[in-house]
C-alpha cells in the first residue's frame, strides 16, 4: 500500500488516500469521532462516522489515544470548516502503536517541557524550528563549498589546551591524565590550511558557562572556517556574504515555518539585501555609553551592551578592532595601533547578540610567544600550535559562527534552547 504524506493529501483534496501518522487531537461528537492526524508535513482532520463504519473499525477509532500511531485510509473532500480546508472520511483504520496517556496535557511550564523534551520534539513549534535549523546547517556547508571551494574537516573534541579562556573549560579524566572538551576547533583548522587551503568544520564546542542567559549553551554547534592568505577586510566580506546566503536560503525554503514561529519573513529581508555596518569597538562603545555611562575604553561588551548597540538595527552589525586586552592571545595586533587587534564580532539584530567571533591570527612566532606571555600562558601544551608559525607560516584569518544562536535569531526564538533538539545548559544535561 502506498501511504501519502498529509501535505500531498491536502493538495489533492479529493479521491481516496492512505495515510499514516499520529493522533494529535481527538474529540467525539454524537455519532462521530474527529481525529486530527499529524505527520512530519502537516495535519488533517479525519472523521469516523458510526453510521457508515463497521463496528470493528469504529471501535478501533474509539480506542485510539492521543499520540497513538495509526494507519488509515478514506476519501478526501473540501470542507471550509476543517483546519486546512480539507477533511478525510475514514474508511479503514488501524492502530500501530497504542499510546499510553500522553504526559503533555495541561502543564506547559518550561521546566516540565524540558523534562519531557523527547516528547515535546513532536510539537509543531519544535518541528518547524528544527526544519529551519537543518536549512541553516545546509546553507553554511553549501556556501563554504560552492563559494569558497573550502574542504570540510574535523578536529578532535578531547584537547590539551584552551582556546577561549580558562574559565569555561570542561575537564575530563583521560587515563590518569586531565584533558578538556574543546571550546573551538580553530587551532586544528589553522593546522589544516597548510595542507588543504580553505577549510571548514561543523562540530560541537563546549563551554562551562556559569551564567544563565537566553543565548548560552554548554554544548553548542560551531561552524568554523579558516582561510590562508587573507586579511580582515576579505574576512569581513566572506562573513557578510555568508550570512546573506544563509538567511536567503532560509527565506526560500522555510517561509511557512518562519511564519508559524512568529517571525515575519519581511523583517529578515534587510539582512539579505542591505550592506552591514562595520564599526570599530571605540565607536560602538560610544553608542553603548549613552545608556551605560560607566563604560570605559577597555570595558567588555556584554549582553546588555550588545542589546543597546543593535536595538534599532535591521541587519547584523560588524564590530572590529577590540582592545587587545579583551581578546585571546591568538589575535593579530593592528600594525597601525597594537593596542587593538584585527578581529571582528558580528552582532545579530534584536538583541540576539554575538553570532560570529573572528579575526586575523598572529602568524609570526615571536608575536605569538609574546602574547602568550602577556596572558600568562604556559607554551607547553601549545607547542604544536607554535610550530605552525615556524614552518612556512602565512597570514591567515577565520571565524566561528554559533549555529544555534544564528537559528534562534532567524526563528525569533525567546531562548536559544528553542533552536536545538536536546539543549545542554548549566543545570540541564538530560534527556
Q: Is 198 in the site for ligand 4AD (CB under 6 A)?
A: no
* Residue 250 binds which of Mg ion, ligand 4AD, none (CB < 5-8 A, kind-dependent): none
Q: Is 190 in the site for ligand 4AD (CB under 6 A)?
A: no
Q: Is 216 in the site for ligand 4AD (CB under 6 A)?
A: yes
Q: Is 361 in the site for ligand 4AD (CB under 6 A)?
A: no
Closest distance of CB 400 from ligand 4AD, Å: 2
Q: Is 217 in the site for ligand 4AD (CB under 6 A)?
A: yes
Only segment of 48-56, 87-95, 108-116, 178-186 that touches ligand 4AD (CB under 6 A): 178-186
3-state secondary structure at position 349: coil
Q: Is 352 in the site for ligand 4AD (CB under 6 A)?
A: no
| Site size toward ligand 4AD, by CB under 6 A | 23
Alpha-carbon distances, residue 176 vs 54, 172, 180, 182 (angstroms):
68, 10, 13, 19
Q: Is 222 in the site for ligand 4AD (CB under 6 A)?
A: yes
**How would DSSP label each residue in 290-344?**
HH-TT--TT----HHHHHHHHTT-SS-EEEE--BGGGS-TTBPEETTEEEEESEE
Closest distance of CB 419 from Mg ion, Å: 18
Residues sharing a CB contact under 8 Å with residue 141, sequence separation 6 or more, in sequence order: 152, 200, 202
Pairing of strands 396-402, 219-228: antiparallel
Closest distance of CB 327 from Mg ion, Å: 8
Per the structure block, which three cell numbers stand in for 372? 602568550
Q: Is 423 in the site for ligand 4AD (CB under 6 A)?
A: no
Residues sharing a CB contact under 8 Å with residue 296, sequence separation 6 or more, in sequence order: none
CB 331 within 8 A of CB 363: no
Only segment of 194-202, 274-282, 299-307, 352-360 that touches ligand 4AD (CB under 6 A): 352-360
Q: How far is 134 from 356, CA to CA, in rounded Å?
A: 19
Among 404, 411, 417, 419, binds ligand 4AD (CB under 6 A): 404
Q: Is 405 in the site for ligand 4AD (CB under 6 A)?
A: yes
**How would DSSP label each residue in 75-130?**
EEEE-TTSTTSEEEEEEEEEEEEPPPPPS-SS---HHHHHHTHHHHTTSHHHHHHH
Q: Is 246 in the site for ligand 4AD (CB under 6 A)?
A: no
Among 20, 131, 207, 249, binds ligand 4AD (CB under 6 A): 207
Pairing of strands 151-152, 86-97: unpaired
| H/E element, 91 | strand 86-97
- DSSP-derived secondary structure letter, 86: E
Residues 306 to 335 in contact with ligand 4AD, rule: CB under 6 A: none
* Residue 372 binds which of Mg ion, ligand 4AD, none (CB < 5-8 A, kind-dependent): none
- Interface residue list for ligand 4AD (CB under 6 A): 163-164, 183-184, 186, 207, 209, 216-217, 220, 222, 224, 354-358, 398-400, 402, 404-405
Amino acid at each position: 500500500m502506498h501511504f501519502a504524506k498529509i501535505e500531498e493529501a491536502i493538495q489533492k483534496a479529493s479521491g481516496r488516500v492512505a495515510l499514516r501518522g499520529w493522533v494529535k487531537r481527538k474529540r467525539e461528537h454524537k455519532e462521530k469521532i474527529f481525529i486530527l492526524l499529524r505527520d512530519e508535513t502537516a495535519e488533517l482532520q479525519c472523521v469516523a462516522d458510526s453510521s457508515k463504519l463497521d463496528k470493528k473499525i469504529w471501535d478501533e477509532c474509539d480506542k485510539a489515544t492521543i499520540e497513538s500511531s495509526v494507519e488509515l485510509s478514506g476519501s478526501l473532500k473540501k470542507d471550509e470548516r476543517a483546519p486546512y480546508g480539507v477533511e478525510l472520511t475514514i474508511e479503514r483504520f488501524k492502530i500501530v502503536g497504542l499510546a499510553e496517556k500522553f504526559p503533555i496535557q495541561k502543564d506547559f511550564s518550561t521546566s516540565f517541557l524540558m523534562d519531557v523534551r523527547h516528547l515535546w520534539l513532536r510539537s509543531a513549534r519544535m518541528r518547524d524550528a528544527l526544519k529551519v535549523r537543518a536549512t541553516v546547517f545546509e546553507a553554511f556547508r553549501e556556501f563554504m563549498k560552492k563559494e569558497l571551494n573550502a574542504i570540510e574537516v574535523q578536529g578532535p573534541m578531547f584537547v590539551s589546551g584552551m582556546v577561549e579562556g580558562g574559565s569555561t573549560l570542561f575537564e575530563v579524566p583521560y587515563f590518569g591524565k586531565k584533558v578538556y572538551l574543546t571550546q573551538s576547533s580553530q587551532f586544528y583548522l589553522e593546522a589544516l590550511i597548510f595542507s588543504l587551503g580553505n577549510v571548514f568544520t561543523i562540530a560541537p564546542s563546549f563551554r562551562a558557562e556559569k551564567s544563565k542567559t537566553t543565548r548560552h549553551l554548554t554544548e553548542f554547534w560551531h561552524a568554523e572556517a579558516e582561510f590562508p592568505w587573507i586579511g580582515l577586510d576579505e574576512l569581513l566580506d566572506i562573513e557578510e556574504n555568508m550570512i546573506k546566503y544563509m538567511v536567503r536560503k532560509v527565506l526560500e525554503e522555510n517561509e511557512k515555518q518562519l511564519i508559524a514561529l512568529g517571525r515575519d519573513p519581511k523583517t529578515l529581508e534587510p539582512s539579505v539585501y542591505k550592506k552591514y555596518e562595520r564599526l570599530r569597538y571605540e565607536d560602538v562603545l560610544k553608542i553603548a555609553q549613552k545608556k551605560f555611562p560607566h563604560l570605559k575604553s577597555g570595558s567588555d561588551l556584554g549582553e546588555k551592551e550588545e542589546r543597546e548597540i543593535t536595538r534599532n538595527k535591521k541587519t547584523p552589525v560588524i564590530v572590529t578592532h577590540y582592545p587587545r586586552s579583551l581578546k585571546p592571545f591568538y589575535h593579530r595586533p593592528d600594525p597601525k595601533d597594537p593596542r587593538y587587534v584585527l578581529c571582528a564580532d558580528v552582532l545579530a539584530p534584536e538583541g540576539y547578540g554575538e553570532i560570529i567571533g573572528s579575526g586575523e591570527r598572529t602568524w609570526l612566532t615571536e608575536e605569538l610567544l609574546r602574547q602568550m606571555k602577556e596572558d600568562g600562558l604556559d607554551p607547553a601544551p601549545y607547542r604544536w600550535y607554535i610550530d605552525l608559525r615556524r614552518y612556512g607560516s602565512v597570514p591567515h584569518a577565520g571565524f566561528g559562527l554559533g549555529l544555534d544562536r544564528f537559528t534562534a535569531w532567524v526563528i525569533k526564538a525567546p531562548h536559544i534552547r528553542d533552536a536545538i533538539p536536546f539543549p545542554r545548559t548549566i543545570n540541564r544535561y538530560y534527556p
